[in-house]
Amino acid sequence: MRAIDPYRTRRFALDADRAALLVVDAQRYFLEPGSRGRVPWARPVIARIQELGSAFRDRGRPVVMTRHAHAPDGSDGGNLAWWWGGLLREGRRSSELMPGLLPLPGEPVLAKRTYSAFLGTGLEPILRRGPVRDLVVAGVATNLCVETTVREAFCRGFRVKVAADACSAQDARLQLGSLRAMAFGFADVCLARDIIGEL
């Protein structure tokens, strides 16, 4: 956080009665050794995400998860298939949520096929019904799906907090660069324990 603090343009107190937790793509694909998409620091964030989830549920606030996966034949791959040369596909073990992060009954798990958790998922209507003003975001990968989602949430009028220690990127430089960029222009970047303390 010392490396992020100089870039923290805006801090705000969480409106706990109008807050929701969004867990982005916390899937086996990013966790398992040998996976093409493995994020080395993904495993330590599981505990932080679990703590956040418990705190939001105890407060009676929504917990929403996304799961990134494409059609088995890859027909919906679009630019991601072109860019990465491969896809995370439905029906494979790698597309499942990380162990310990399963939703409770009634909690939505939204299928997504691009970096943004808003495009084609129905996320915004779920949040509007909340009603949600403040969105706390955690998940993988910080510099791709998390950051894209945070930027879009900001542009759609949500106030955003990012739990820095409940997100993970492919390496420390990408993690820090992404967190700094979000702190500067889109989100209050802080620690999970600080967010929990505001609930």
Catalytic site residues? Answer: 25, 112, 145
Q: What distances in angstroms separate CA 35 from CA 38, 66, 94, 189, one per listed residue?
A: 5, 19, 8, 29
- Identify any residues that bridge with 140 across adjacent strands, giving them in sequence order: 168
Q: Residue 131: which of 45, 34, 47, 61 has the closest Cα?
A: 61
The 8 Å CB, 24+ separation contacts for 115-118 are 115/80, 115/144, 115/145, 115/148, 115/149, 116/145, 116/148, 116/149, 116/152, 117/22, 117/24, 117/66, 117/145, 117/149, 117/152, 118/149, 118/152, 118/153, 118/156
Q: Residue 44: which of 136, 176, 138 has the closest Cα?
A: 138
- Identify any residues that bridge with 23 across adjacent strands, giving them in sequence order: 65, 138
